[in-house]
Structure 1
Amino acid sequence: MYKVKVNETYEFDLSAVNDTLQLNGQAVPVDVRELQDGHLHFIYKNKSYNAEVVSENHENKTSVVKINGKLYEVAIEDQFDSLLKAMGMGAGSGKTAREVKAPMPGLVLNINVAEGQEIQKGDNLLVLEAMKMENMLKSVTEGVIKKINISKGDKVEKNQVLIEFV
């Protein structure tokens, strides 16, 4: 499932299930053919469209797409982006992340950092057990731990602030 935003105006959910395009939960008949070098041709509602990816920004997951000569800015968010956003670590947060939130309800099994500790991007912060699975939460930023709001053995709720950065 992808969340798609076009020109900062139109938002919809998009997924492909068994080679069928789903738009906001409804099956949408679309015939798509990849041509070459980022060019596509598709038929939607008996109309023909030519599409070309003009530019891509992989860091913030946006693209500029030209469809029948008109430019559109498209932002795409997958389930992992949604999870990171729920944890307060969404795309573009990079060095400005201020907190880590629980992505789901769970039990804190281990805390691998301490208040005042300097951390780097990718460092292991804590282990959260949810649905009988251990999930290692890692830092998406570098910085210093300001406050740890939980202890080993605590039960946490989704979106609860676990760790704050300076």
Structure 2
Amino acid sequence: MLKVKVNDSQEFDVKQEKDDWSINGEFFDGDVAQLSPHHYHVIWQDRSFNVEVVEHDALTKKTTLKINGKILTTSAKDRFDLLLESMGMSQAVSNKINEIKAPMPGLIQSIAVQEGDTVKKGDTLLVLVAMKMENAIKAPAEATVKSIRTEAGRSVEKNQVLIEFV
């Protein structure tokens, strides 16, 4: 189950059971077609929607979508996030980061921070090029850079530690 909040106001319960999806307990009977890696066409309740994934942060589960030209931001909580939240542990887990690892193999194009820098959540740390696409790796929380374990122009493997934090 996911709890999805849209524009920090509307909240939806989204569930998947095998190939079936439901939103707030109602079966989703729409049609979704992926047109390209970030573009989709959705038909739902006799309406057509053009959906573009503008930005997606898998770590924080936040996504910016453009639906028929209108920008929407979403945040999601999975069952583990909801469990931690119910135990009062969500803030403790989300605020402490020790390191940033490469999400995929690629080439480090540039590094935007130096050792000793304090970064805020969302600051770009470095740019990783993979499959001819530039991927800005951003800080998931506020932290101070302890060490940088790679350099521009170097190839990295998936899960390789790139930056360590204090």
TM-score (norm 1): 0.53
2:4 aligns with: 4
Structure 1: distance between partners of 2:23 and 2:43: 15
> In the alignment, what sits opposite 2:89?
89
1:79-120 alpha-carbon deviations (Å, 9 max, x no partner) = 011112223232673239xxxxxxxxxxxxxxxxxxxxxxxx
- Structure whose alpha-carbon radius of gyration is higher: 1
Asked whether the 8 Å contact 1:64–1:72 carries over to 2, the reply is yes
Determine the C-alpha separation between the residues in 1 that align with 2:54 and 2:4.
17
Q: What SS does structure 1 have at the residue aligned with 2:83?
A: helix
2:34 counterpart residue number = 34
Ranges in structure 1 where 5+ consecutive residues have no aligned partner: 97-166
Task: Tell me how far 1:66 sits from its aligned partner.
Answer: 0.6
Q: For residues 120-153 of structure 1, what are the alpha-carbon distances to aligned partners after superposition, in whole Å with 9 as ceiling and x for unaligned?
A: xxxxxxxxxxxxxxxxxxxxxxxxxxxxxxxxxx
- 1:64 is paired with a residue whose SS is strand
What is the CA–CA distance in structure 1 between the aligned matches of 2:56 and 2:46, rounded to whole Å? 29
Counterpart in 2 of 1:64? 64
User: Are the aligned partners of 1:21 and 1:30 in contact in 2 as well (CA < 8 Å)?
Assistant: no
Counterparts of residues 48-59 of structure 1 (less than 5 Å)? 48-59=48-59
3-state SS of 2:40 partner: strand
Following the alignment from structure 2 to structure 1, what is the Cα–Cα distance between the partners of residues 66 and 56? 12
1:78 aligns with 2:78: yes
Q: May I ask how many residue pairs the two structures share in their alignment?
A: 96
For 1:54, give the aligned amino acid. V
Q: Given residue 93 of structure 1, which amino acid in structure 2 is its aligned partner? A: S
What is the identity percentage for the equivalent residue pairs of Structure 1 and Structure 2? 41
Write the letter of the residue equivalent to 2:95: G
Displacement over 4 Å in runs of 4+: none
CA deviation after TM superposition for structure 1 residue 44, in Å: 0.5
Give CA-to-partner distance per residue, 1:55-75, whole Å, 9 cap, x none: 123332111001111000001
User: What TM-score does the superposition give when structure 2 sets the normalisation length?
Assistant: 0.53
In 2, distance between residues paired with 1:9 and 1:75? 11
Question: Is there any run of 5+ residues in structure 2 with no aligned partner, and where?
Answer: 98-166
How far has the Cα of 1:18 moved from its partner?
3.5
